[in-house]
Amino acid sequence: MNPIIEHAFFIYFFVSLCILSIAVIASKNIIHSAFSLLIFLLHIAAVFLFLNAEFLMIIQIIVYVGGVLALFIFAIMVMNLREELRHKRFVRFSFLGLAVSLIFFASLYIFLSNVKSNQNVLTYSDTNLLGKLLYSYYLLPFEILSLVLLIALIGGIIIAKKTPVDGDRR
Amino acid sequence: MIPLSWYLILSATLFSIGLMGFIIRRDLIVMLMCLEIMFNSVNVALASFSYYNSNLSGQIFVLFSIAIAACEAVIGLAIVLAIVRNTGINHSDEINNLRG
């Protein structure tokens, strides 16, 4: 690929990811921040396509956009937050949070600005080899992960279940 | 070719923005969205290490991370729903009792 076009696309994704993640934080309406998060996740999928990880792009779109974001929107609709627009958005000492994140970014930038990388990159995306690696070498973490997903499913149902109304429970 | 440090700086920037949002927002659901932003930035860093070392283990760790993020979203939203249903509070700085 032409390197100038590649750099231009990367800079576009950098700027738009920053703008979208700030829009998630700064928007007044919660449903607006949910849709900003939707566009953010699609841009992250495009960044995965830059890195020759096509399978991750598909998984990102299916799991995040199809699962997690639909769950967020369902939760917003169930909670029915109509009077939310009048309340203030930030905590009282929000400049301290700003300072903490700026210090964190500065200390990461000092380490990351001159990282050396070798030249033999992943030249093509090999989903076949990824599946073989997942089912041979990483088989035990994969099975444990299925148990973790099952337990999270059951726990989510039990926690969010409507408790029976009696005298001492609110 | 895009150097590795650009991807890492992208990841660090998104992680810092997510951390800032997690600290300064009051709504519990937006705090969970900021957690998703931080998960995604770490996934970009892992995938870029996988690309520049020509090793597929990084992508498998991204798969595991995506699954754990889905579990985290389910449990977090269930806890937020339980808090809102039991106490009527959906701001992080108004929760002040432990017995619910």
Lowest mean per-residue pLDDT among A71-85, B1-15, B45-59, B74-88:
A71-85
CA dist., res. A25 & res. B17, Å (int): 8
The model's pLDDT over A97-147, given as tens digits with 9 standing for 90+, comes to: 999 999 999 999 998 888 887 777 777 778 898 999 999 999 999 999 999
Beta-carbon separation of B51 and A53 below 8 A: yes
CA dist., res. A41 & res. B66, Å (int): 12
Model confidence at A83, in pLDDT bands (50, 70, 90)?
low
CA dist., res. B17 & res. A20, Å (int): 10
Contacts of A10 (CB under 8 A, 6+ apart): A50, B2, B6
Supply the pLDDT for residue B96: 82
The model's pLDDT over A27-55, given as tens digits with 9 standing for 90+, comes to: 888 889 999 999 999 999 999 998 988 99
Q: Distance (Å) from the C-alpha of residue B26 to the closest C-alpha of chain A? A: 5
Token pair of A148 as six digits = 């973790």
Helix (H, G, I), strand (E, B) or coil at B91: strand
Supply the pLDDT for residue B92: 84
Contacts of A25 (CB under 8 A, 6+ apart): A33, B17, B20, B21, B24, B25, B30, B34
**C-alpha dihedral sign at A40, A160, A29, B98:** negative
Supply the pLDDT for residue A152: 94
Beta-carbon separation of B13 and A120 below 8 A: no
Q: Give the predicted TM-score (pTM) of the model.
A: 0.90
Q: How far is CA B68 from CA B34, B57, B65, B82, in A?
A: 16, 17, 5, 21
Q: Distance (Å) from the C-alpha of residue A145 to the closest C-alpha of chain B? A: 7
Q: Distance (Å) from the C-alpha of residue A24 to the closest C-alpha of chain B? A: 8
Supply the pLDDT for residue B3: 87
Model confidence at B95, in pLDDT bands (50, 70, 90)?
confident
Place of tokens 């269930």: B78
CA dist., res. A9 & res. B20, Å (int): 26
Q: Which of A18, A112, A141 sits opposite B64 (nearest CB)?
A: A141
Q: Are B76 and B30 in contact (CB under 8 A)?
A: no
Helix (H, G, I), strand (E, B) or coil at A90: strand
Helix (H, G, I), strand (E, B) or coil at B25: strand
- Would you say the ipTM is above 0.95? no
Q: What are phi and psi of B91, to 5 degrees?
A: -120, 145
A165: Cα separation from own chain's centroid: 36
Place of tokens 């990351």: A112
Model confidence at B38, in pLDDT bands (50, 70, 90)?
very high
Model confidence at B66, in pLDDT bands (50, 70, 90)?
very high
Model confidence at B99, in pLDDT bands (50, 70, 90)?
low
Task: Count A/B contacts: CB-CB distance under 8 Å.
Answer: 234
The model's pLDDT over B71-82, given as tens digits with 9 standing for 90+, comes to: 999 999 999 998
Supply the pLDDT for residue A23: 95
Burial class (CB in 10 A: 0-12, 13-18, 19+), B76: buried
Model confidence at A170, in pLDDT bands (50, 70, 90)?
very low
Supply the pLDDT for residue A14: 95
